[in-house]
Amino acid sequence: MTDIAALPEPHPATPRPTRSYLGAGSDLRSWLLTTDHKRIAILYALTLTLFFFIGGAAATLIRIELITPAGDLVSADSYNKLFTLHGVIMVWFFLVPAIPTTFGNFILPMAVGASDVAFPRLNLLSWYLTVAGGLLALVSLLVGGVDTGWTFYTPYSTLYSNSYVTLAAAGVFVAGFGTIATGVNMIVTVHVLRARGMRWMRLPLFVWSIYATSIIMVLATPALAVALLMIVVDRLFGLSLFDPDQGGDPIIFQHVFWFYSHPAVYIMILPGMGVVTEIITCFARRRVFGYEAMVFAILGIAIFSFFVWGHHMFVSGQSAWASLVFSILSFVVAVPSAIKVFNWSATLYGGHITFEASMLYALGFLGLFTLGGLTGLFLASIPIDVHVHDTYFVVAHFHYIMVGAMVTAFFGGLHFWWPKVTGRHYSEPWARLAAILMFVGFNFTFFPQFILGYLGMPRRYHSYPPEFQIWHVLSSAGAVILALAYLVPLVYLTLSLRYGRRAGDNPWHASGLEWATTSPPPRDNFVIPPTVDTDPYAYHAAHEEPSERDESGGDHQSSRKDEMP
């Protein structure tokens, strides 16, 4: 898309939308029955925020328990239920749906020039399915709890656990259908509702990331549904699918579960990559370096994610040859991720960078994702993985990618599109402080866990040898900073709804069709359907002087630092 800041102001006779999506009825019924993709995105955001803080409360109790070596806050059984509560809620009801259902819902239709998603009623149904699944999971975890961990590993979950496994698995099962519905909606919207002139290689990279994520959702989530259904059927009817004494095989569950759950890692992180790309190119004032390479890297990650599930099972008894193949593929899938890191860095190089809060979050993502990815290569190596399997090293790696990188990207997108969503600005100094606190607090919390894991501290233990205490104390102290970094934005963003100054249609001078409409947008997004006639991210071209172009009209990078518009 063209740089909106470089476009002339609309002709006075051009009709302008006057009523935002927020003004289309304010009663509860109008929200609960809405088919407006923007309102559904708000419903998702409120729901996921609630789940985020429930999961965070469980994490807080875990970190308090681990300050001392003895299990003196909760019993071993209660501790098992705490980390299961934390994992189930955070993975299935925040991390997986977070960006596709919020920014994907709100921004993607506008970014492709559409008035809504392809199936508005299905979009609303997906939210109800997510809420219903979340309530089932919460009921199971609150009435008595589940002690299996978020992975529901068999045969413990089918034969030995007396907790509410069936209800929790049913909750995740129901929410999975909401995930599939969202994926179908995003795929069809991108295919059939693009604006005139919006060719595939003119799509914003955020749209590409949601599109690739949606493919994973649609293809992989049924595998999770099958795995959970087998657990429920086994527990209810005693089919002994996973009981070795009756001819069952617990390893089958791991294969089916990880066939979904490793691609699910990219359901969580791919949308974050798309968000960060939009932020970096905007505040570096440069077009994305290697747009085509970024597109193929996104698609490559989505494709290869289906072929590496076995690297979770190096100690599960699979053959040495299978482990070798999965190890090699795990290194291969890192290549497109490395391409993206290189392209982000190249986009920043020579850019006219400004450090708005969303840019600080994006830079934090870059550091956390790189460190998390590098430690992933450690776990792709069979000898190292065998040594650190089921230790805090794995916990730290997982959180660097899923929480450090993904949640940082989520907050970056929240600050980037907040003026568009609400029509209001937030406090930039407070937002910058929160971004810095999040980066510092996260590293303070989880980097000591790499050391803990290397030294041999197993995960999911509520008591431990005293020599590990210093690292747990550091981790718990960092969690205090991290909790503050999550709470501060809740305050200033809420206050901005009433006291924030009005935002213009395009306060960041960003490219993209979502910035070509009002803030907040009208019900149908655009008064006149947009037409696209340029490639995306034309920041640099919009700021070049005529003398900086060659005779054939090609663009050259300017060595002069132009002022931002």
What is the rounded end-to-end Cα distance, in angstroms, of the chain? 17
Domain boundaries, the chain: 31-560
Tell me if residue 157 falls in helix, strand or coil. helix
- Residues of the chain where predicted confidence (pLDDT) is lower than 70: 1-18, 24-25, 540-565
Residue 367's nearest CA partner among 327, 330, 332, 412 is 412
Task: Give SS3 for 561.
Answer: coil
* DSSP 8-state code for residue 3: B
Residue 3 sits at φ, ψ, to 5 deg, of -75, 115
Q: Give the Cα separation of 72 and 341 in Å (integer).
A: 44
- Here the tokens at position 438 are 């999040």
CB 149, CB 84: distance < 8 Å: yes
DSSP-assigned letter for residue 202: G
* Cβ within 8 Å of residue 121, ≥6 positions away: 35
Chain centroid to Cα 69, Å, comes to: 33
DSSP letter string, 363-428: HHHHHHHHHHHHHHHHHHSHHHHHHHTTBHHHHHHHHIIIIIIHHHHHHHHHHHHHHHHHSB---H
**Residue 316 burial (10 A CB sphere; 0-12, 13-18, 19+):** middle
Alpha-helix residue ranges (DSSP H) falling in 26-164 = 28-32, 37-65, 76-90, 98-101, 103-111, 120-143
CB 301 within 8 A of CB 333: yes
Q: CA-based diameter of the chain, in Å?
A: 80
Nearest C-alpha neighbor of 9 from the set 380, 478, 470, 565 = 565
**Integer CA distances (angstroms), 186 to 116, 119, 225, 331, in order:** 11, 9, 20, 30
What local confidence, expressed as pLDDT, does residue 563 receive? 32
CA dihedral (456, 386, 169, 34) positive or negative: positive
Question: Token pair of 448, please?
Answer: 């000591």
The CATH T-level fold of domain 31-560 is Cytochrome C Oxidase; Chain A (1.20.210)
- Taking CA atoms, 88 is separated from 56, 183, 274, 324, in Å, by 12, 21, 25, 31
Q: According to the model, what pLDDT value does residue 542 have? A: 42
Q: State the CB neighbour count (10 A cutoff) for residue 497.
A: 12
Full-model pTM: 0.91
CA 262 to chain centre: 14
Predicted pLDDT at 553: 34
